[in-house]
Chain A
Amino acid sequence: MEDILNAFVLLSNFVLIPALAYGSQLALGALGVTLVYGILRFSNFAHGEIMSFGAMSAILVMWGFQASGVSIAPLPTVLLALPFGILATIAMLLIVDRSVFRYYRKKRAAPVILLIASAGVMFFLNGLVRFIIGPDDQRVVDGERFIIRVREFKQMTGLDQGLALKTSQGISVLAAIVCVGLLFWFLNHTRSGKSMRAYSDNEDLALLSGVNPDRVVLYAWILAGSLAAIAGTLYGLDKSYKPFTFLQLLLPIFAAAIVGGIGSPIGATVGGFVIAFSEVTVTYAYKRFLAYMVPDSWAPEGLAQLLSTDYKFAVSFMILVIVLIVRPTGIFSGKTL
Chain B
Amino acid sequence: MSMELRKPIMFVGMALLLVMVGVFQSWSLALTIVNLCIISAIMAMGVNMQWGYAGLFNAGVMGFAALGGLAAIVIGMPPVQETWQAGGGGILATVAVVAVTVGAVLLLRRRFKGNKPVRTFGIAAIIIVGYFVARAFFMPAVDAIESIEPAKTGYLGGLGLPILLSWIVGGVMAACAAWIVGKVALGLRSDYLAIATLGISEIIIAILKNEEWLTRGVKNVNGLPRPTPYEVDLQQEPWVLDLVEKYGLSAIELSSIIVKVCYAGLFLAVLLILLFLAERALHSPWGRMMRAIRDNETAANAMGKDVTGRHLEVFILGSAVIGIAGAMLVTLDGQFTPTSYQPLRFTFLIWVMVIVGGAGNNFGAIMGGFVVWFTWIQAEPVGAWFLDTTTAFLAADDPLRLHLIEGAAYMRPITMGVVLLLVLRFAPKGLIPEQTWHR
Contacts and interface: CB of A to CB of B under 8 A. Distances in A.
Nearest to B354: A116
B267 interface: no
Given A130-B407, A131-B410, A314-B203, A247 B343 contact: yes
Contacts of A313: 199, 202-203, 206
A175 to B, nearest CB: 26
Interface string B400-439: 0000001101111111111011001100000000000000
B344 A115 contact: no
A248 B341 CA distance: 13
Contacts of A117: 421, 424
Most buried by B among A131, A132, A254: A131
B421 A100 contact: yes
A314 B206 contact: yes
A317 B190 contact: no
A146 interface: no
Contacts of B195: 43, 251, 254-255, 258, 320
Nearest to A337: B189
A317 B200 contact: yes
A216 interface: no
A251 to B, nearest CB: 5
Contacts, number: 132
Given A42-B191, A116-B355, A119-B348, A131 B199 contact: no
A328 B411 contact: no
A325 B55 contact: no
A43 B203 contact: no
Interface stretch (A5-13, A121-129, A166-174, A218-226): A121-129
B421 A43 contact: no
A124 B188 contact: no
Interface in A241-255: 247-248, 250-251, 254-255
B202 A123 contact: no
A124 B407 contact: no
A126 B190 contact: no
A38 to B, nearest CB: 13
B413 A321 contact: no
A116 B414 contact: no
Contacts of B410: 127-128, 130-131
Nearest to A99: B421
A310 B209 contact: yes
A141 B31 CA distance: 49
A303 B55 CA distance: 46
A127 B57 contact: no
Interface in A289-314: 302, 308, 310-311, 313-314
Given A337-B188, A337-B189, A311 B196 contact: no
B198 interface: yes
B201 to A, nearest CB: 10
A324 B410 CA distance: 36
A159 interface: no
Contacts of B286: none
15 contacts: A43-B195, A116-B424, A120-B352, A120-B418, A120-B421, A120-B424, A121-B421, A126-B413, A127-B416, A247-B343, A251-B202, A302-B139, A311-B210, A314-B203, A320-B195
Interface of B: 55, 57, 59, 139, 184-185, 188-192, 194-196, 198-200, 202-203, 206-207, 209-210, 343-344, 348, 351-352, 355, 406-407, 409-418, 420-421, 424-425
Closest 10 CB pairs of A and B: A124-B417, A123-B417, A127-B413, A127-B414, A120-B420, A317-B199, A43-B191, A131-B407, A120-B421, A131-B410
